A and B are shown apart, each in its own frame.
Chain A
Amino acid sequence: MTPRPGKARTLKHGRPDREPGLKRANFGHGPGLPTLLLLPQFLILVFFFFIPSLRALMQSVLLSDPFGNNVHFVWFDNFTALFANGEYRQSIVTTLWFTVAQNVITLAVAVVLAFATDRVVRARSVYRTVILLPYAIAPAIAGILWAFLFNPVVGPLAHMLHALGIGWDPNRNPSDALRLVIMAASWKHICYNYIFLAVGLLAVPASLMEAAAVDGAGPIRRFFLIALPMLGPTVFFLAVMNFIYGFFETFAIIDAVTHGGPAGATNILVYKVYVDGFVNLDLGSSAAQSVLLMTFALICTLLQFRYFDHKVNYGV
């Protein structure tokens, strides 16, 4: 049998020949120490994931007043009401648009930036610092910044668009509003993508790139044929992370930029969960929505792993 790449090689002197760097951690005998080390993470999961998830599941089949003094068990009424609701279906479509667009833009821009700074020799760290800065800004602040820059009445960038003859108005044009939140959400997340890609590029062997250059491949060709395939696992990881980001972490941006409007145009699922739960105090519906949102995210992530994962080559 020929040895396959990525797996342990043939035995030498009766012992598996391990690659340098891939050492197995040794925790001594018995389950004591590993359990102890896993405990903090486990407790965090229990208190911040499992218990709230169970509570959400329970709440989703109840109709209750916010103070919890009147509780009715309503079976799946909260769920059926959601699917009968046109606003909710629109929210699903909006969320898909928002998440996919945000994912594509974020990855594309981050890849270009990572490749560009990889080629820069002088003051590389300055460029990197500048690119990473947005990550240090709180989402709500970032949102306000974008809302202000593109405010049709006072925003300087909106004035530039108006001067170009573009009738930009996110207050009255639903697609402008959606574009604005996609831009704001992507901008905030580009740095996260960038840092992984920049590090990933460092791992691309210089010898391969040099060999290709000697063979006459230009930078763009070298990028698409060598660097990008080697970044496959990173890109896949980032796609999953962006997806989760779009689904769960963008509500502060939506809240600051559009409040989900106009007319529900940017009311993505996670923002709707927030508004129905914390503004409308409709806890049953909000819980049902968060259960559905979690299920959607789970299905999408599984699909990504099932289909996209096959196309990623980890064996480099």
Chain B
Amino acid sequence: MNRKTALIAALFGVLAFAAPAQAARVEVQWWHAMSGVLGDRLNELVEKFNASQDKYTVVAVAKGNYDEVTNGVIAAYRAKRPPEMVQIAERGYMTMLLSGAIVPVQDLMDQKAYKIDWPDFIKPVASFWSYKGRMSAMPFNSSTPIFWYNKEHFRKAGFDKPADTWQELEAQLYAIKAKGVSECGSVLPGDFYWSLLENYSAINNQPYGTLANGFDGLGTEFVYNKTKVVSQVARLKKWLDDGVLQIAGQGFSPEQLFTSGRCSTFVNSTASHGNIERNAKIDWSATFLPHENDINPPLNSTIGGGAIWVMKGHTPERYDAVAAFLDFVAQPETQVWWHGVTGYVPATNKAYGLARERGYYKDHPTREIAVLQLSRGTPNENSRGFRFGNFVQTMLAQRTEVEAVFTGQKQPQQAMDDAVKRGNEILRQFEKLNAGKDTEADGKPK
């Protein structure tokens, strides 16, 4: 081949690759908050989608943690350049829903004529992410806290497994400490407000706020200062004082204290499966969260994690791409894969059934705990979930008050009274800001 023909061939080669790329692919952005193992998996998911067809390209952009993603989206929206899709944590639900900046996913999917089997989404997931019966965001990474334990520590202390109730568990943890099996029975999770106060309330059928924990309107008020949450805080304080519970503190994660075999138990999201499998050098297992001995049967736990929101203000072609991607995410195959590699809950019953059928839970029994715990019993007003405006802010106020108990500055009752008072002021501010919006956010386009 002489030089001329080679050049011509090269030119055709370039054209052959360049032409379809220019003509077809519509590019959309998805901002997310996943890092580490989870971030790698998310990128794999996006690559799978991009490889599955030749019309659309989804670009996944890691924007830091959930707070940073939220801030990034707000700044971008105010500058009139929002991404098409964004992953927001469950605490931001009301802020996003009433923002006037989003397109409810069910509307989008209807408009683009995608058939999604919405009733098939597992109940706690569907009820959390939908408003007035219509899905506002696409459930993506749903999780719930479960109870992780070191099998060897329990064996050495003469127990088969952790007890079901807080009372018996307390005796076990004190025994583990007394027998010198480990110096720390449990480690306080960084998000203890989620697992040990909110989910505690749901499982033990305690009201957290009025109006069905905020599901029935903006006029909700916190009431957890009048429930077993107060004695739960007192219990944690007692464990801390007796050295049965440790705070990992900054510079070190609670998970590391558990996986290194220093602490015998640990309450954390089912999403830690990936990390724990990778890092743990101990013989670990997991089970349901404990409940109070006078609650029978315990109720379901509630979900955390994030969902994919669609932002307003883009062209129809881009929404075609968004809808195609969301449809891909909702497919049972995608869900099963994502569930398996991350530990997040499968979002639909079909996906859960598929995982069972394939015998997935025989090899990975702890992966099923979250699903079983989420669908245990009949959800009632206390266990449906938590839907409060400015939820991050009220949670931080509560967290500060609980810390005041841990530092010995306040008694549990006093601290919870103060937390509720502060929380209610924050709720009233949200209500004032969003007054009259209740009907607008009907899930229907204006």
- Check A257/B433 contact, CB under 8 A, given A65-B99, A279-B392, A280-B392: no
**A172: contacting residue among B70, B78, B406, B434, CB under 8 A:** B406
Contact of B211 with A by CB under 8 A: no
Contacts of B251 in A (CB 8 A): 144-151, 155, 256-257
- Check A152/B249 contact, CB under 8 A, given A66-B95, A281-B70: yes
- Check A256/B250 contact, CB under 8 A, given A262-B406, A278-B71: yes
Closest residue of chain A to B254 (Cβ to Cβ) is: A153
Chain A 54-69 interface 0/1 with B at a Cβ cutoff of 8 Å (1 = within): 0000000001111111
The residues in B between 249 and 265 inclusive whose CB is less than 8 angstroms from any CB of A are 249-252, 257, 262
Contacts of A147 in B (CB 8 A): 249-252
Contact of B166 with A by CB under 8 A: no
Contacts of A119 in B (CB 8 A): none
Number of A-B contacts (CB under 8 A): 116
Residues A63 and B433 in contact, CB atoms below 8 Å apart:
yes
Contacts of A67 in B (CB 8 A): 74, 77-78, 99-101
Chain B 416-446 interface 0/1 with A at a Cβ cutoff of 8 Å (1 = within): 0000000000000100111001000000000
Residues B404 and A263 in contact, CB atoms below 8 Å apart:
yes
Contact of B67 with A by CB under 8 A: yes
Contacts of B175 in A (CB 8 A): none
Contacts of B78 in A (CB 8 A): 67-68
Q: How far is the CB of B404 from chain A (nearest CB, A)?
A: 4
Contacts of A155 in B (CB 8 A): 251
- Check A63/B432 contact, CB under 8 A, given A280-B393, A282-B390: yes
Q: How large is the interface on B (under 10, 10 to 19, 20 to 34, 35 or more residues)?
A: 35 or more
| Complex Cα–Cα for A261 and B257 (A) | 21
Chain A 266-296 interface 0/1 with B at a Cβ cutoff of 8 Å (1 = within): 0000000001001111100000000000000
Q: How far is the CB of B37 from chain A (nearest CB, A)?
A: 20
Binds A, one of B240-248, B267-275, B300-308: B240-248
| Complex Cα–Cα for A145 and B251 (A) | 7
- Check A280/B248 contact, CB under 8 A, given A65-B433, A174-B407, A262-B403: no
Q: How large is the interface on A (under 10, 10 to 19, 20 to 34, 35 or more residues)?
A: 35 or more
- Check A70/B407 contact, CB under 8 A, given A153-B257, A154-B252: no
Residues A282 and B434 in contact, CB atoms below 8 Å apart:
no
**B409: contacting residue among A258, A263, A278, A279, CB under 8 A:** A263
| Complex Cα–Cα for A116 and B262 (A) | 44
Closest residue of chain A to B101 (Cβ to Cβ) is: A67
Closest residue of chain A to B406 (Cβ to Cβ) is: A172
- Check A281/B393 contact, CB under 8 A, given A65-B434, A148-B251: yes
Q: How far is the CB of B92 from chain A (nearest CB, A)?
A: 9
Residues A261 and B246 in contact, CB atoms below 8 Å apart:
no
Residues A66 and B257 in contact, CB atoms below 8 Å apart:
no
**B407: contacting residue among A66, A69, A262, A278, CB under 8 A:** A262
Closest residue of chain B to A149 (Cβ to Cβ) is: B251
Contacts of B437 in A (CB 8 A): 70
Residues B407 and A282 in contact, CB atoms below 8 Å apart:
no
Residues B396 and A280 in contact, CB atoms below 8 Å apart:
yes
Q: How far is the CB of A309 from chain B (nearest CB, A)?
A: 39
Q: How far is the CB of A283 from chain B (nearest CB, A)?
A: 9
Contact of B400 with A by CB under 8 A: yes
Q: How far is the CB of B236 from chain A (nearest CB, A)?
A: 12
Residues A263 and B400 in contact, CB atoms below 8 Å apart:
yes
Binding site for A on B (CB under 8 A): 67, 70-71, 74, 77-78, 95, 98-101, 184, 240, 246-252, 257, 262, 390, 392-393, 396, 400-401, 403-404, 406-409, 429, 432-434, 437
9 A-B contact pairs sorted by A residue (CB < 8 Å): A66-B95, A72-B433, A147-B251, A173-B407, A258-B250, A262-B404, A264-B404, A281-B70, A282-B429
Binding site for B on A (CB under 8 A): 63-70, 72, 87, 144-155, 170-174, 256-259, 261-265, 275, 278-282
